[in-house]
Amino acid sequence: MPFLLILASFFLNYKFNSCNEIIVLKQYFSISNNYSLFLILFSTIFIFYFINNEYLSVHLYQKYKVQELEIRNNLKLGVPSLNEFHIESEVSIFFEKQKDNKFFEIEGIIYQDGQFIKSESAEIEIDKKNYNLIFNKGERIILNSIEKSKTVFDKFIYSIDNEDIETLTMDKEHFNTLDLLDSENKEFKFQGHNRIYQYFLIFIIILISFKIFFLYLNKKKVFIYYGSIFLIVLIIQVINSYLIFLLNNNDNFNIYYYYLINISILLSLSYFIFNFNENN
């Protein structure tokens, strides 16, 4: 978001500078003359960023990871073809038709126990470290050296242990800021502080974007100015990443140093931008 705002302000400023319309805009359209409009724009951008960080991205990321794991685990399980479904040397299923991961008119063989199954339908459920084959309404015949029997069932579940099944692990992107700050995991906790810092950064960047929008410079100077601002913001983010690294790996570097350094850098950037003389 910080980089998108900076780039958008560069683009708009350049468009208006190219046809000298920025001079007219500065006379009739400024932050001081249109305070309420800029307050609405500022609030809208910041609220969107906040809601996206704390709610939308967290929940969408959760859904994405669940879908991703389902696809990966299903690929490991195998793909039905030609009305047959084979799971390594464990089970073979022969079916008449398939719909929404459910199989109908089933004839199955469970090799290890010598079981033969005929049922109306079957479906596969992935549960923790197991593949569960759920057969509905059918008959089961067991023929092995220990047991010979025939039973009728309404529901029969056969589980296959599989250590290759991937389970959902909760990483930093699954939690909002408050959850991260409450975590006992120090990496999660410091990520929560990083989120707070990013809110300070986006606050400053929005103000800087308004300043850039009204900037009037010749083409040579304006590109140098654009490049300088973009490079400064990039360096700020790199420094922040390094400070997060120090928090996680250096016990002598604490959260107070983290905020002190970052806020000092942001205030310095703000002072440079808002005291920049266009006549230089």
| Model pLDDT, residue 254 | 85
Kindly list the distances between the CA atom of residue 137 and the CA atoms of 90, 121, 124, 156, in Å, as whole numbers in the listed order.
Answer: 21, 7, 15, 8
pLDDT at residue 88, rounded to an integer: 65
pTM for this prediction = 0.56
**Distance (Å, rounded) from C-alpha 137 to C-alpha 123?**
12
Residue ranges of the chain whose pLDDT lies below 50: 75-76, 78-79, 165
Give me the pLDDT at residue 66, please: 65
Strands 102-110 and 115-127: antiparallel
Please state, in angstroms and rounded to a whole number, the distance separating the CA atoms of residues 162 and 206: 51
- Alpha helices, DSSP H only, in the chain? 2-18, 21-28, 35-51, 57-77, 177-182, 186-213, 219-249, 255-274
Q: What is the pLDDT of residue 25?
A: 65
Which residue has 């794991």 as its token pair? 69
What CA–CA distance (Å, rounded) separates 57 from 174? 8
The owner of tokens 């319309």 is 21
With helix as H, strand as E and coil as C, how does 108-168 read?
EEECCCCEEEEEEEEEEEEECCEEEEEEEEEEEEEECCCCEEEEEEEEEEEEEECCCCCCC
Residue 80: predicted pLDDT: 54
Contacts for 153 with CB less than 8 Å, ≥ 6 apart: 119, 135, 137, 138, 139, 140
Return the axis-axis angle of helices 255-274 and 186-213, rounded to nearest 10°. 10
Angle at 62 between CA 206 and CA 124, to 5 degrees: 160
Residue found by looking up tokens 């040397």 in the block: 89
**Interval 142-163: pLDDT, tens:** 887 777 888 888 888 887 766 5
Query: 3-state DSSP helix/strand/coil percent for the chain, to nearest 5?
Result: 55, 25, 20
